[in-house]
Amino acid sequence: METPLTAWHRQHEAKMVEFGGYVMPLEYTGILDEHHAVRTQVGMFDVSHMGQFLVTGPGAADFVDRVTTHRPGRLAVGQAAYGAMCQEDGGTLDDLVVYRRAAAEFMLVVNAARRKDDWAWLNQQRGREGGAVRLTDLSDALALIAVQGPQAMDLMKDLVGPGVAELARFRFSTAFGIAGRPTLISRTGYTGEDGVEIYTAAEDALEVWEVLAAREIKPIGLGARDTLRLEAGLPLYGHELATDISPVEAGLRPFIRTRPDQQFIGQEPLLRQLAAGPKRQLIGLRMEEGGAIARSGYPVLADSEAEIEVGRVTSGSYAPALRRPVAMALVAAERAQPDTTLWVAIRGKRVPGRVVPLPFYRRSRGGRSPG
Of the CATH numbers 2.40.30.110, 3.40.640.10, 1.10.10.60, 3.40.50.620, which one belongs to the domain with range 279-364?
2.40.30.110
Counting Cα atoms < 13 Å in the Cβ hemisphere of 105 gives 5
Mean pLDDT of 29-48: 98
Rounded Cα–Cα distance for residues 170 and 80 (Å):
5
Rounded Cα–Cα distance for residues 28 and 94 (Å):
29
The pLDDT, as a whole number, for residue 63 is 96
Question: Are the CB atoms for 198 and 147 separated by under 8 Å?
Answer: yes
The pLDDT, as a whole number, for residue 370 is 43
Picking from 74-78, 182-186, 206-210, 362-366, which range would have the lowest pLDDT averaged per residue? 362-366
Rounded Cα–Cα distance for residues 287 and 254 (Å):
28
* Mean pLDDT rounded to a whole number for the chain: 95
**6: pLDDT strictly greater than 70:** yes
Mean pLDDT of 246-263: 94
- Give tens-digit pLDDT for 105-147: 999 999 999 999 999 999 999 987 667 999 999 999 999 999 9
CATH superfamily of 51-137: Aminomethyltransferase beta-barrel domains (3.30.70.1400)
Give the domain ranges of the chain. 6-48+141-231, 51-137, 279-364
Rounded Cα–Cα distance for residues 314 and 337 (Å):
18
The pLDDT, as a whole number, for residue 367 is 38
Instruction: Find residue 231's DSSP bridge partners.
Output: none
Of 172, 32, 155, 22, the closest CA to residue 97 belongs to 172
Question: Are the CB atoms for 90 and 64 separated by under 8 Å?
Answer: no
Q: What is the pTM of this model?
A: 0.96
CATH number of the domain at 6-48+141-231, please? 3.30.1360.120
Picking from 185-189, 204-208, 248-252, 261-265, which range would have the lowest pLDDT averaged per residue? 261-265
Banded model confidence at residue 306, pLDDT cuts 50, 70, 90: confident
